[in-house]
């Protein structure tokens, strides 16, 4: 039975507690203190009522004993009655992303912000007037100087100008304060900063990541080559919160004169564990002479509305976008640089900046024999990219049927498509399949007016997020992720000790946790089931998961014995006397399965994941699948 106070707590808490930073400027200190006290009590009540109301006094020891989807949803809406207010999301999903239902696919591996809807693509395909051999736009790499590009810009197409305006408007970033460049992906954006940052005078690089990231590793490697002293925050076991005492010692300067000390890279959220980090770290870093780079790639699609950009004003900000949720993970990233910080950058020629090239221009170049060798070479390369599109890796398998063979440790939206293309011997292909002017771009004013802003990009994915708003998206994700966490913890092995099937890393049931989850599955003997095996079996069940590697974990003396059992060395980690101490330390961690709930995630998605994981309660199922996985991955040694 639902506790009498639950409905009241749910309604009051979710309407009064804003997911914005917990501290705000106010002229009334007493009012602020009262608000914080109410907010803290609200969060505690939410966690307590969630824990006591979802399958109360129940443990599931057999996957066949799970309640049905319909029964579970009925109980879910009793616990979270305001979930019904998010029905507009389900309507958008049914009308604009019907491929998810048609394929019966559960996508829990998309991180970033979606630009377009599936309906938007397929409606234009039936009426497209363009040659289908060419996409509406692709990205074109260019070698250049980041500082020069930021200061003076370059020739920009109407498409690029319109896309730039739409994205900056969506993220609430003012063109008066920030300059922006399109980059191929998140990795490229980080590398551009690393190759232009003045490490000769500001030597330190400090990162705050509890997981291994290809993009961050690229940043670190490029920075070290330029003389940077690299440091990282650590995360306390078992909750994986920032080890505040250690980080504060590194961030705070003892010198009275606060000269620029280096680059502080702050992700706001962990895209693996769902941990949210206090924004006060940004303020502390700025007050102590650090340049601040905010990695906004793990933020929810409307979280920038509550970020407080005008309050913090980071020197750099990186955000990522993918094409279509559940269908096309390719896309691009955006690097924003505060105009007052551009002068600090050094001139450096590098790659990673891209142009968005309209199909109309590509068609004109292809049909014009006077095109330059470089232009014609790009067209030829584009044709090869299109031919190979079917072999590129996709997050959720609708582009390729071989995603289980190509999925990497960390899935980062558009970057997975890039990696898949690289494995087929191609350059990065960021392709939007045969979009038309009629569907993606509409005239705002007459072309003859000569107004550079005469076009507006129709990004239906962004429009849908804007129409839903911050509160609806945040609340829906909060209900779903906390139900999933609570339900997974109800799964116990059928033995006398009641050993838990699932271990969750980072925050558990929590009001303001992010919609990402890191976990592992353990068999009845307490041995971990390999995350890659869990991911592959999920793929076979039409559920797209990822797997990653948690690192920089700090254990107090209390957990010294546990440390030896838990930590493992990452495959391919550094070895020997020449190994960098920080790198060697970061190679120790925990491999985990990861799931991320996008704004289109439904209760059925979370239920399907729960029911899939519950299958591991069957010891025969685990042993059979483990044997099969081992047999298929035997290495053949030629003598």
User: pLDDT tens across 466-479, in order?
Assistant: 999 999 999 999 99
* % the chain with pLDDT above 90: 59
- For the record, the structure tokens of 243 come out as 């080890």
Q: Is the pLDDT of residue 11 over 80?
A: no
486: nearest Cα among 593, 610, 344, 350? 610
Instruction: Report the first-to-last Cα separation within the chain, whole angstroms.
Output: 67
Q: Is 113 helix (H, G, I), strand (E, B) or coil?
A: strand
Q: Judge residue 446's burial from the number of C-beta atoms within 10 Å of its C-beta, 0-12 exposed, 13-18 middle, 19 or more buried.
A: exposed
Alpha helices in 489-615 (DSSP H): 531-540, 560-566, 581-586, 603-614
Tokens of residue 84, six digits: 């019904």
Q: What is the pLDDT of residue 253?
A: 84
454-458, 485-489, 529-533: lowest mean pLDDT where? Answer: 454-458
pLDDT of residue 177: 96
**pLDDT, greater one: 409 or 454:** 454
Q: Assess whether pLDDT exceeds 80 at residue 304.
A: yes
pLDDT tens column, 124-155 = 665 554 433 333 568 889 888 999 999 988 78
Confidence of residue 334 (pLDDT cuts 50, 70, 90): very high
d(CA 415, CA 320): 10
Instruction: Quick: pLDDT tens for 164-191.
Output: 999 999 999 999 999 999 999 999 999 9
CB 329 within 8 A of CB 398: no
Mean pLDDT taken over the chain? 80
Buried b (16+ CB within 10 A) or exposed e, 158-171: bbbbbbbbbbbebb
Give me the torsion for CA of 511, 515, 520, 522, rounded to 10°: 60
Supply 266's token pair. 């702050």
Q: How confident is the model at residue 576 (pLDDT cuts 50, 70, 90)?
A: very low
Backbone angles phi, psi at 231, to 5 degrees: -135, 160
User: What is the 3-class SS of 326-349, one letter each residue?
Assistant: CCEEEEEEEEEEEHHHHHHCCCCE
Q: For residue range 267-300, what is the model confidence (pLDDT) as tens digits?
A: 999 999 999 999 999 999 999 999 999 999 989 9
392/418 Cα distance (integer angstroms): 8
HEC string for 375-441:
HHHHHHHHHHHHHCHHHCCCCCCCCCCCHHHHCCCCCCCHHHHHHHHHHCCCCCCCEECCCCHHHHE
Q: What is the pLDDT of residues 175-233, one digit of tens each?
A: 999 999 999 999 999 999 999 999 999 999 999 999 999 999 999 999 999 999 999 99
Whether 5 shows a pLDDT value over 80: the answer reads: no
Residue 442 phi/psi, 5-degree rounding, is -130, 150
pLDDT, residue 439, reads: 45
pLDDT the model gives residue 329: 87
To which H or E segment does residue 324 belong? strand 316-324
pLDDT in tens, 378-434: 443 443 343 333 323 223 322 223 333 333 333 444 443 343 333 333 233 333 333
User: What would the pLDDT profile of 36-89 be if each residue is shown by its tens digit?
Assistant: 677 788 888 999 999 999 999 999 999 999 999 999 999 999 999 999 999 999
pLDDT band at 607 (very low <50, low <70, confident <90, very high): very high
**Cα-Cα-Cα-Cα dihedral sign, residues 295, 299, 305, 306:** negative
- Name residues whose C-beta falls within 8 Å of residue 23's C-beta, 6 or more positions apart in sequence: 279, 280
Picking from 397, 487, 393, 387, the residue whose alpha carbon sits closest to that of residue 433 is: 387
Parallel/antiparallel/unpaired status of strands 316-324 and 546-551: unpaired
Query: In percent, how much of the chain has pLDDT > 70?
Result: 73
Distance from C-alpha of 595 to C-alpha of 109, rounded to nearest angstrom: 6
Instruction: With beta carbons less than 8 A apart as the criterion, state whether 593 and 586 touch.
Output: no
Residue 126's pLDDT is 58
Return the pLDDT at 397: 28
DSSP 65: G
Average pLDDT over residues 509-531: 95
Query: How far is the C-alpha of 368 from the C-alpha of 408, rounded, in Å?
Result: 41
Residue 32, pLDDT score: 52
Tokens of 150: 């930021």
The answer to whether 118 and 603 are in contact (CB under 8 A) is: no
Which pLDDT value is given to residue 8? 41
CA distance 345 to 341: 7
């Amino acid at each position: 039975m639902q506790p009498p106070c639950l409905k009241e707590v749910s309604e009051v808490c979710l309407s009064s507690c804003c997911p914005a930073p917990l501290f705000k400027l106010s002229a009334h200190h007493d009012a602020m203190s009262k608000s914080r006290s109410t907010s803290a009590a609200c969060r505690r009540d939410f966690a307590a009522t969630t824990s006591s109301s979802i399958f109360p006094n129940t443990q599931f020891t057999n996957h066949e004993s799970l309640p049905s989807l319909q029964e579970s949803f009925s109980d879910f809406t009793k616990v979270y009655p305001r979930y019904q207010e998010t029905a507009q999301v389900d309507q958008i999903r049914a009308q604009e992303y019907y491929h998810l239902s048609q394929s019966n696919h559960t996508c829990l591996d998309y991180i970033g912000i979606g630009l377009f809807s599936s309906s938007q693509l397929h409606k234009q395909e039936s009426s497209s007037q363009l040659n289908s051999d060419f996409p509406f736009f692709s990205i074109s790499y260019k070698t250049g100087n980041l500082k020069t590009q930021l200061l003076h810009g370059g020739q920009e197409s109407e498409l690029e100008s319109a896309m730039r305006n739409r994205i900056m408007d969506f993220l609430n970033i003012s063109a008066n304060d920030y300059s922006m460049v399109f980059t191929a992906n998140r990795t490229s954006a980080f590398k551009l900063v690393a190759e232009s940052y003045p490490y000769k005078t500001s030597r330190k690089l400090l990162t705050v990541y509890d997981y291994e990231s290809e993009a961050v590793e690229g940043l670190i490697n490029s920075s070290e080559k330029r003389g940077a002293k690299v440091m990282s925050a650590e995360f306390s076991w078992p909750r994986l919160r920032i080890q505040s005492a250690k980080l504060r010692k590194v961030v705070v300067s003892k010198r009275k004169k606060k000269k620029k000390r280096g680059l502080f890279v702050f992700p706001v959220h962990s895209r693996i564990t769902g941990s949210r980090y206090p924004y006060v770290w940004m303020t502390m870093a700025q007050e102590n002479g650090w340049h601040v780079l905010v990695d906004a790639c793990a933020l929810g699609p409307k979280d920038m509305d509550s970020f407080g950009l005008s309050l913090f004003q980071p020197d750099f900000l990186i955000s990522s976008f993918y094409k279509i949720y559940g269908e096309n993970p390719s896309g691009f990233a955006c690097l924003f640089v505060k105009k007052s910080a551009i002068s600090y950058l050094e001139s450096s020629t590098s790659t990673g900046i891209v142009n968005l090239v309209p199909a109309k221009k590509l068609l004109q170049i292809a049909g014009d024999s006077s095109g330059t060798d470089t232009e014609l070479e790009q067209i030829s390369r584009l044709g090869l990219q299109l031919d190979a599109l079917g072999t590129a890796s996709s997050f959720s398998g609708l582009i390729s049927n071989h995603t289980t063979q190509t999925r990497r440790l960390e899935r980062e939206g558009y970057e997975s498509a890039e990696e898949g293309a690289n494995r087929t011997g191609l350059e990065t292909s960021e392709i939007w399949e045969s979009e038309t002017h009629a569907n993606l771009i509409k005239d705002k004013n007459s072309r003859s007016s000569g107004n550079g802003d005469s076009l507006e990009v129709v990004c239906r994915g962004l429009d849908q997020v804007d129409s839903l708003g911050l509160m609806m998206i945040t609340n829906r994700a909060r209900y779903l992720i906390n139900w999933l966490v609570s339900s997974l913890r109800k799964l116990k092995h059928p033995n006398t000790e009641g050993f838990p099937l699932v271990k969750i890393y980072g925050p558990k049931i929590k009001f303001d946790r992010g919609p990402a989850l890191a976990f592992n599955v353990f068999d009845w003997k307490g041995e971990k089931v390999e995350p890659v095996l869990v991911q592959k079996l999920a793929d076979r069940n039409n559920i797209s998961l990822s797997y990653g590697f948690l690192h920089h974990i700090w254990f107090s003396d209390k957990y010294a014995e546990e440390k030896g059992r838990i930590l493992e060395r990452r495959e391919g980690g550094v070895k020997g006397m020449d190994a960098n101490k920080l790198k060697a330390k970061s190679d120790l961690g925990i491999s985990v399965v990861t799931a991320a709930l996008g704004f289109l995630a439904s209760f059925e998605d979370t239920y399907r994941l729960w029911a899939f994981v519950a299958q591991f309660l069957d010891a025969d199922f685990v042993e059979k699948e483990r044997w099969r996985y081992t047999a298929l991955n035997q290495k053949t040694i030629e003598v």
